Amino acid sequence: MDMTIRPRRLRGNELLRKMVRETRVDASSLIYPIFVKEGTGIREEIPTMPGQYRYSVDRMGEKLQSLLDAGVSSVMFFGIPDRKDEVGSGAYAEDGIVQKALRQAKRDFPGMYLITDVCMCEYTSHGHCGVLCGCAQTSAGDSAAPVFPQGYVDNDRTLELLAKTAVSHAKAGADMVAPSDMMDGRVAAIRAALDEEGYLNVPIMSYAVKYASAFYGPFRDAAGSAPAFGDRRSYQMDYHNSREGIKEALLDVEEGADIIMVKPAMSYLDMVAKIKEVTDVPIASYSVSGEYAMIKAGAQLGYIDEEKIICETAVSAFRAGCDLYLTYFAEEIARYIREGKIG
Ligand code: PBG
């Protein structure tokens, strides 16, 4: 057989395979999303996300410590308040759940990097990611007739509240803020508000390319944030579109986003690769609750090998080009890296 090029030559030896690897993963790229909840003594398992818990502030340290021990030092906070209202005031309250968690984590874990999800959906009684048009508490005194129907999320009024939320997170100790609401113009609004308060160096990681996705199902159970009516398709992106994702990413970079996120991960790695090409900022990929739940369920049924699937999905996100990877499997992945199962 006359064959000069034999690709298998580079695959015949484990050491050689490792030498020629194109993708290297490192625990410092991992971010763990954590759910914090009002109350004390709470560590309750999320039914649709086995192995994931909601923690009260007094108990979240258990998880933060085990993350640190595994080599994961970045977390993203999601808050579960005990009261919700039309304008999501718990999102920007000084003693809101995330604000309390931040103060405590800063005190007890000064070596950790604290990121916050900035959104209204966990705090609004209707479960949408912003205030609704015609909402009495925000439109009082407004003589203009509503342009949009009742129930439509009011973009520009929401911006003020998102900016307030981001500033309150920074005040409480957030190292970075991550708006996930998909309102237009929110990165600029948040940047201006942070700068005005002196938080010039608090970066914004924008969920710029966030699709309206059924993969968020388990999260909405975890956070009690499913919309009470309708869906999120008037603000999150249509998953048939890819050029629109580029438009969103470029807009956010222009508005001052320091990091661009693509979400979900697994079904959207094409977008990670594309956005990497057209921007010069780091790209984050968020492996969301539904991805976690599918792997857990498949493994529990014995249909797939959990450890191998976790390794393969994580590496595929990095191979697509992400620099940061948000995942509920952060601790496991850090361990697999250390054990040389991926690297
Ligand atoms: C808040 C938010 C959501 C997620 C992250 N931030 C839910 C949503 O948009 O409905 C989803 C995370 C996950 O599914 O793991 N808007």
Going by C-alpha positions, the residue among 80, 79, 88 that lies closest to residue 114 is 79
Name the residues annotated as catalytic: 210, 263
Q: Is 56 in the pocket of ligand 1 (CB under 6 A)?
A: no
Q: Is 52 in the pocket of ligand 1 (CB under 6 A)?
A: no
* Residue 60 pLDDT: 98
DSSP letter assigned to residue 37: E
The mean per-residue pLDDT over the stretch 307-330 comes to 98
DSSP letter assigned to residue 126: T
pLDDT at 141 over 50: no
**In the structure, what pLDDT confidence band is assigned to residue 182 with cuts at 50, 70 and 90?**
very high
pLDDT at 296 over 80: yes
The mean per-residue pLDDT over the stretch 78-99 comes to 96
How many residues does this entry show for the chain?
343
Q: Is 325 in the pocket of ligand 1 (CB under 6 A)?
A: no
Going by C-alpha positions, the residue among 108, 133, 300 that lies closest to residue 230 is 133
- Which atom, in ligand 1's list, is nearest to the CA of 117? 6
pLDDT at 311 over 90: yes
Are the C-beta atoms of residues 301 and 278 closer than 8 Å to each other? no
pTM: 0.95
Residue 297 three-state SS: helix
* Residue 137 pLDDT: 59
Separation of CA 216 and ligand 1 centre (Å): 6
The mean per-residue pLDDT over the stretch 34-59 comes to 97
pLDDT at 142 over 70: no
Residue 329 three-state SS: coil
pLDDT at 191 over 50: yes
Separation of CA 314 and ligand 1 centre (Å): 19
pLDDT at 152 over 50: yes
* Residue 340 pLDDT: 93
Q: Is 289 in the pocket of ligand 1 (CB under 6 A)?
A: yes
Tell me the percentage of the chain whose pLDDT exceeds 70.
Answer: 97
